[in-house]
Structure 1
Amino acid sequence: SRYHGSEENLAERLVEAVAQQTGHECAVGTADGLLAAVVAARTGALVPPGGSAGFLASRPMTELGFAATTEDSGRQVDELVDLLHRLGLRRLGQLAALPAADVHARFGRLGTWAHVLARGEDERPPVRRRPEADLEVATALDPPVDRVDTATFAGRRLAEELHTLLVERSLTCGRLEIAARTDEGTDLVRAWRTDLGGWGGLSPSRITDRIRWQLESWLSATAVATARSRALDDRVRLRDARRAATGRPGDGPTGRTDEDVQWAFDARAAHESDDTPPVTLVRLSVTALDVAPAGAEQGRLWGGPSGGDLRAHRAMDRVQAILGGSGLLAASVQGGRDVREQVHVRPWGEQGAAPLPLDRPWPGRLPPPAPATVLPEPEPVQVQDAAGVEVLLDGREGLAGEPAWVRWSQGRRSRVSGWAGPWVLTGRWWSGQSPRAHLQVAFDGEPAALLVATTAGWACEARYD
């Protein structure tokens, strides 16, 4: 609640998140103790600090069952409530008014538990701590290095130094940030998630593995080439903005002059040529992020990891140690317009935002549901109208005809029972992309298909099972 500013703000965020993810409404309440919080959530109440006892005093004794977490404990609580009713105690406030020693002597451990909850307290109060500062170890690479083995040797020393700091201070961390600086002044930063098993993910050898995997990626010049390409795109947008501000129209349909177009192509070709200089690192650092006392890992809001989850994470880490950083990949959904662009694949454990944000508008994006099977390679097809004439994407980016048949590469034909679209995607002028359009097609007696139309013809990209 402190992070979001107040308990009211946190409640609003929770209600909004549940509604967006599930389509259902929920009630959120706040109070000091476990039982008071559960009852408050069922009624949507915000109990002020210190007011839990008064809030529960008039509630019926049967609401003790809301705090039971298993079927067995629920039966025991029901038996206790029945006994309290026969003794004339029907409100939680009546139970809270009894002396704690007498309740324990008469009702035992379960009675003490109910007495504590009825007073608006917790058996185990929450432990508050100050956030620990991030731990960083760094070294200057002098002379600069451009080989993986040399840089990994320096990374091994950093891994041992960071692990020693964590052990001496009895700390653990949730993420490792690996950063390097090139001789051109480019900063390369990547974060890796540690496993959920605590100390097992923070040994010097496993930290070194992550440093080595990242160095292999960086020293291949891929990361620097990507940074240069992004800088080039920024320069293109800056030039367009300046031209728009000065009101100087271009020669082409996009408002750019022929010199602008040639300049963009020449600059990009220079950066993508085989003459790209090798990457040379002058600084390397490793930072422990999300630092917390060892053994005090905060459980997730929607449920903590099980023992099976921990064993699975450790098994995948061992496989990755054998195959290398890119040998084990995890897929996630990102932004984009077509089915292939919306899948983001990255090495297991690598932390970072997807390159295409999911919350952007993405005009022309396919509506849900997504197809169940995406073909490894698009299958060429022909889309024909009722007269057998091929339906193509015309110059105005629409369909020239009514789809009635789809002829597959094997020679068979499927009758179209219904179709939706097209969803037109216009290409980027500077990358040579041509317009394309997606079409959802349903057939008689077989799964629906997702077809894509380009200037070269039609192809089947995916199937709806």
Structure 2
Amino acid sequence: MNGPPRLLVLWCPDWPVVAAGAAAGTSPLAPAAVFSGNRVVACSAEARRSGVGRGMRRRDAQSRCPELVVHQHDPDRDARLFEPVAAAVEAQAVGVEVVRPGIVAVPVTGAAGYFGGEEALAELLINEVEAQAGVECQIGIADGLFAAILAARRSAVVPPGDTKAFLAPLSIAELNQPGDDRGELVDTLRRLGLRTLGAFAALAEHDVAGRFAKDAVTAHRLARGLAERPPLRRALPPDLTVTETFDDPLRRIDEAAFVAKTLGERFFAGLANHGLACTRLAIVAVTEAGEERVRVWRCAEPLTARATADRVRWQCEGWLTARDRPTAGIVRLRLDPEEVVGGQALQLQLGSMGRDADAAERAGRALVRIQGLLGPDAVVTPLLDGGRGPAERVRLVPWGEPRRPVTEDRPWPGRLPAPSPARVPPRPPAALVLDAVGDAVRCTERGELSYPPATVAIDGRPPRRVLGSAGPWVVHPSTARVQVVLEGEDDDLALLLEATVGDNPQWTVEGIYD
């Protein structure tokens, strides 16, 4: 079986922070962090020395580093400012592929032979990027993109054939690279005692396929030093390339953004009609003066229509705003699929394609903007969690934070059984529960009512007759619950009531059933 190609990866550490600082004009030595959805997505080395880390909440990060410079996540800015770095690498080596803003990959074999070896090539590119783009970078060389990225983070050159041995002692957390979204898989593997890539690689592939989701098979191949997926062994249709010609040349970023969306959807639809998805995308631009610019984007996961449009927009912005930008507007854009995989590799959830995907993306960005204006706790979503009562089971999670139950697996003696109330008042209204002779109904410490409830008055309104009741159920030594059905003029009303135990009961309405 053929192994993965040998690649050189050039990595600019903390690129989102570097790009944000360059755009804002802040000092590169100041502690800084980039936030998305109230979470740190990247931080500078100075911030890390103060205890700031990726995934940390903004409040925690600023408490550890009060002088922290805060930037908002902006993928367009990161991609636009990264174009000079890619151009500097391209000036010395052919076949440059942008993995994501901050990382480029280059095939090693030809360039290393020309410049006198892999180490000489690495030194040349580091000097070129620092001289032309003014940013620091690190280089790693290994077999396969995943191993080369990890080697770049360690400034390592892995000898050919030693990739599996290089990966084996590394933490299993390395599988969760930015954009891969393998955090849940990594947590599961840790709980199973698999804490290194080597331990995960030692599992049989059929066991991984039978126990975990499909993405785990890809992760398992990476841990073994293999390519992300086997090669596609089928003849490709000739009409996968998408070309757009413009009567009025593109000179502005907003024009490029509009074209990128349409072009991305056409490209994705064309591949989907043939059951394919793209993992390496070549973007070719031809200007009115005949200049041609080409950039290849390599992706670990197959591109969606939105991801394709983003890369086209980023690339056009980079070309139109770079120091060596074309002398004329763009009159033709072409998208070439350099590498494709079977469409089954593109795992999309229901509602993640077409207009629904675009609407979800726009809504998500709008909510992040609202958080930036009003604070992270201004936008929340409900999550069903553990607890005994209906109000305890609903937890409000700030937008962008992980939606994982934290207490669901605990035992909950006295937990309210299904069905749960359809409505839970944010502030439980007071209730007056009386027996047949007009005395207040009490709940004893033994979990018994003094008398069956006959009427219930809610929040000072006229009392309503009780048609039926169930309970009480003791929740805590000091509280108990009762379910009642009240007579109504149109429809009967079913309530969940809670009372304090003792001689002076305090009744409240905890929930309302449909």
TM-score by length of 1: 0.39
TM-score by length of 2: 0.35
Which structure: greater helix fraction?
A: 1
